[in-house]
């Protein structure tokens, strides 16, 4: 009777744990692929990214030596932009709440304002309610603030 109970218990444990372990494995593979794509595009643009941010809708890589920021949007066929941080004079995080409920965040972006006055700010979207039903808005806000601090430190240096 003890062996049968143990086998049933192990079977139930496997039934409940294997899907969770599979999802964790799958998520790790996706993140490795995103990092590989970031490194590949960095190499194509002669950048050595030393600081990276990987999320479902945004890949960021900062080359501290060249003072350049690589922005990749996986949802848009891996479209990418390389920004020269020496041309940026200011950065700020914008968090836009819903009109009906100011406690809920509709979008989070990091705006990079260039030195030239007629140039419109470059907007890096960290969270958009319409596109990202899986991401946590407050988590993406923290990531945007982190990158704003990193970029501001590069601007003042």
Flag whether pLDDT at 99 surpasses 90: no
Q: What is the mean pLDDT of residues 94-99?
A: 78
Structure tokens at 80: 């990418």
Calculate the alpha carbon distances from 52 to 105, 120, 131 in Å.
24, 25, 22
Model confidence over 120-147: pLDDT tens digits? Answer: 888 888 888 777 556 687 888 888 889 8
Q: In the structure, what pLDDT confidence band is assigned to residue 18 with cuts at 50, 70 and 90?
A: very high
78-94 in b/e form (b: 16+ CB < 10 A) is: eebebbebeebeebebe
**Half-sphere exposure at residue 15, Cβ-oriented, CA atoms within 13 angstroms:** 6
Model confidence over 27-40: pLDDT tens digits? Answer: 999 889 988 988 99
Flag whether pLDDT at 26 surpasses 90: yes
Which DSSP category does 121 fall into?
P
Structural domains present in the chain: 2-156 (2.30.29)
pLDDT of 156 reads: 67
Report the predicted TM-score, pTM, of the whole model to 2 decimal places. 0.78
Euclidean distance between CA atoms 105 and 128, whole angstroms: 9
Q: In the structure, what pLDDT confidence band is assigned to residue 1 with cuts at 50, 70 and 90?
A: low
Structure tokens at 145: 């603030």
Contacts of 148 (CB under 8 A, 6+ apart): 91, 92, 93, 110
């Amino acid at each position: 009777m003890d062996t049968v109970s143990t086998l049933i218990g192990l079977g139930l444990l496997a039934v409940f744990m294997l899907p969770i372990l599979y999802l964790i494995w799958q998520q790790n593979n996706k993140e490795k692929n995103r990092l590989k794509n970031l490194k590949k595009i960095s190499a194509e643009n002669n950048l050595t990214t030393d600081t990276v941010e990987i999320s479902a809708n945004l890949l960021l890589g900062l080359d501290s030596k060249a003072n350049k920021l690589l922005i990749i949007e996986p949802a848009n066929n891996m479209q990418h932009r390389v920004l020269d941080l020496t041309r940026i004079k200011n950065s700020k995080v914008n968090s836009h709440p819903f009109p009906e409920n100011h406690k809920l965040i509709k979008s989070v972006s990091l705006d990079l304002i260039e030195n030239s006055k007629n140039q419109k700010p470059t907007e890096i979207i960290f969270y958009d309610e319409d596109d990202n039903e899986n991401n946590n808005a407050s988590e993406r806000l923290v990531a945007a603030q982190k990158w704003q601090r990193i970029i501001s430190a590069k601007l003042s240096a």
